[in-house]
């Protein structure tokens, strides 16, 4: 790219960033694992009340980008993040950011359901308790119930809140993990292939839930299933070899993508 088009592209990007109601923005985000570079100057925004799907072949950097959004890469030895990442226009890598608080605002649900080996109640109550969100037992009970309601699990577990979370089915465990994320009133929920360990019925239930959660949260979901991306998201970002190939309305991405690599990927030609 020559200087002129570089500057023009930058100007267009800044214009777009200012126009769209972004909850989070990544600008020129690169990630290195030791010597290996895993992301190359990614520019991607996360919109309010929108599900954004990250797609692309295995190893293209989807999880790496997702982890930048709540600084989970900080926990990986040798990982280095450069560029700018903001939440409500504030730099989340600023030294005065409290990472524990950031991760409450930007919650995460992992590939494999990972409830604590504690009761269903405790799994949900833990976060609100450490963040001091309840002033009494009654208030905490209220948060636990509301969170399980939002995760679509309440009716299935209300009579056995003291039983272990690990005794639930896989799909129920994943919804418990969603309840746990929701319990601390996050603003953004990151999901890294949340259905890959679930059967089709449990997957459908979680997808339905994602649809409902969008009313109140910004959601970013990594998925290797293009059908899933098409079903649950309004925006889709395609990654390839650590680069963001393109990002667009999901409908457009799956019917008329701008980039040949996206076309090849959704046609199943690679990955
Ligand atoms: N903890 C890590 N240490 C070293 N390399 C990693 C680590 N995590 C991911 N990578 C590498 O970074 C690249 C992107 O990985 P990842 O973000 O997991 O891709 P995806 O989620 O799209 O499958 C891959 O080449 C992968 O091997
Ligand atoms: Mg991944």
56 C-beta neighbours (distance < 10 Å), count? 24
Write out the E strands in 117-260: 188-192, 218-222, 235-240, 243-249
Query: Which of 61, 73, 222, 238 best tests ligand 1's pocket when mutated (most atoms within 8 Å of CB)?
Result: 61
In-domain check, residue 147: yes
Q: End-to-end alpha-carbon separation of the chain, Å?
A: 28
243-249/235-240 β-pairing: antiparallel
Q: What average pLDDT does the structure give for the chain?
A: 93
How many domains does the chain fold into? 1
Q: Give the atom of ligand 1 at the shortest distance from the alpha carbon of 57.
A: 22
For the cut 50, the answer to whether the pLDDT of residue 121 exceeds it is yes
Which ligand gives the minimal distance to the CA of 54? 1
For the cut 70, the answer to whether the pLDDT of residue 58 exceeds it is yes
In-domain check, residue 187: yes
Q: What is the pLDDT of residue 6?
A: 67
- Tell me the pLDDT tens digit for each residue of 222-245: 999 999 999 999 999 999 999 999
In-domain check, residue 271: no
Tell me, in angstroms, the distance from the centre of ligand 2 to residue 62's CA: 6
pLDDT > 90: percent of the chain = 88
In-domain check, residue 96: yes
Domain encompassing residue 77: 2-266
List residues near ligand 1 (CB under 6 A). Answer: 33, 36, 38, 56, 58-64, 76
Give the helix, strand, coil percentages of the chain, each rounded to 5. 40, 25, 30
Higher-confidence residue: 173 or 202?
Answer: 173
Q: Give the atom of ligand 1 at the shortest distance from the alpha carbon of 62.
A: 22
CB-based contacts of 147-151 (< 8 A; 24+ apart in sequence):
147/179, 147/180, 147/182, 147/183, 148/120, 148/124, 148/176, 148/179, 150/178, 150/179, 150/182, 150/212, 150/213, 151/175, 151/176, 151/178, 151/179, 151/182, 151/209
- Of 5-14, 86-95, 158-167, 251-260, give the lowest mean pLDDT range: 5-14
CATH assignment at residue 246: 3.40.50.300
d(CA 173, CA 187): 22
Cβ atoms of 236 and 248 closer than 8 Å: yes
In-domain check, residue 129: yes
Q: What is the pLDDT of residue 7?
A: 73
d(CA 186, CA 173): 19
d(CA 46, CA 52): 7
d(CA 256, CA 250): 10
Q: What is the pLDDT of residue 5?
A: 64
SS3 217: coil
For the cut 50, the answer to whether the pLDDT of residue 1 exceeds it is no
Nearest to 150 by CA among 117, 185, 126, 115: 185
Cβ atoms of 22 and 247 closer than 8 Å: no
In-domain check, residue 220: yes
Nearest to 224 by CA among 270, 169, 174: 270
Binning pLDDT at 50, 70 and 90, where does residue 271 land?
low
- Tell me the pLDDT tens digit for each residue of 66-81: 999 999 999 999 999 9
218-222/235-240 β-pairing: unpaired
- Tell me the pLDDT tens digit for each residue of 141-169: 999 999 999 999 999 999 999 999 999 99
Binning pLDDT at 50, 70 and 90, where does residue 48 land?
very high
In-domain check, residue 252: yes
For the cut 50, the answer to whether the pLDDT of residue 259 exceeds it is yes
For the cut 90, the answer to whether the pLDDT of residue 253 exceeds it is yes
For the cut 60, the answer to whether the pLDDT of residue 4 exceeds it is no
Mean pLDDT, residues 180-188: 95
In-domain check, residue 219: yes
- Of 16-30, 102-116, 133-147, give the lowest mean pLDDT range: 16-30
**Ion ligand 2 nearby residues (CB, 5 A):** 63
Binning pLDDT at 50, 70 and 90, where does residue 95 land?
very high
pTM score, whole prediction = 0.92
Q: What is the pLDDT of residue 10?
A: 65
């Amino acid at each position: 790219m020559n200087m002129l088009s570089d500057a023009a592209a930058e100007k267009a990007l800044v214009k777009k960033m200012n126009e769209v109601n972004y909850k989070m923005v990544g600008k020129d985000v690169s990630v290195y694992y030791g010597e290996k570079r895993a992301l190359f100057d990614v520019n991607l925004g996360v919109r309010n009340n929108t599900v954004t799907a990250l797609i692309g072949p295995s190893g293209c950097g989807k999880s790496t980008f997702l982890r930048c959004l709540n600084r989970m890469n900080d926990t990986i030895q040798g990982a280095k993040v450069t560029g700018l990442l903001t939440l409500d226009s504030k730099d989340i890598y600023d030294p005065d950011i409290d990472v524990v608080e950031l991760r409450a605002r930007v919650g995460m649900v992992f590939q494999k359901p990972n409830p604590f080996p504690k009761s269903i109640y405790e799994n949900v109550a833990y976060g609100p308790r450490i963040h001091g969100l309840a002033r009494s037992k009654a208030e905490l009970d209220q948060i636990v119930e509301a969170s399980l309601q939002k995760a679509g699990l309440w009716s299935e577990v209300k009579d056995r809140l003291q039983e272990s979370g690990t005794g639930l089915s896989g799909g129920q465990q994943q919804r418990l993990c969603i309840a746990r994320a929701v319990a601390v009133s996050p603003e953004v929920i990151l999901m890294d292939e949340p259905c890959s360990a679930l059967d089709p019925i449990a997957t459908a239930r979680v997808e339905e839930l994602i649809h409902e959660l969008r009313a109140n949260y910004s959601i970013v979901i990594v998925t290797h299933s293009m059908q899933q991306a098409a079903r649950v998201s309004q925006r889709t970002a395609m990654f390839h070899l650590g680069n963001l190939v393109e990002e667009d309305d999901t409908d457009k991405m799956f019917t008329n993508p701008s980039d040949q690599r996206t076309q090849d990927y959704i046609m199943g030609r690679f990955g």
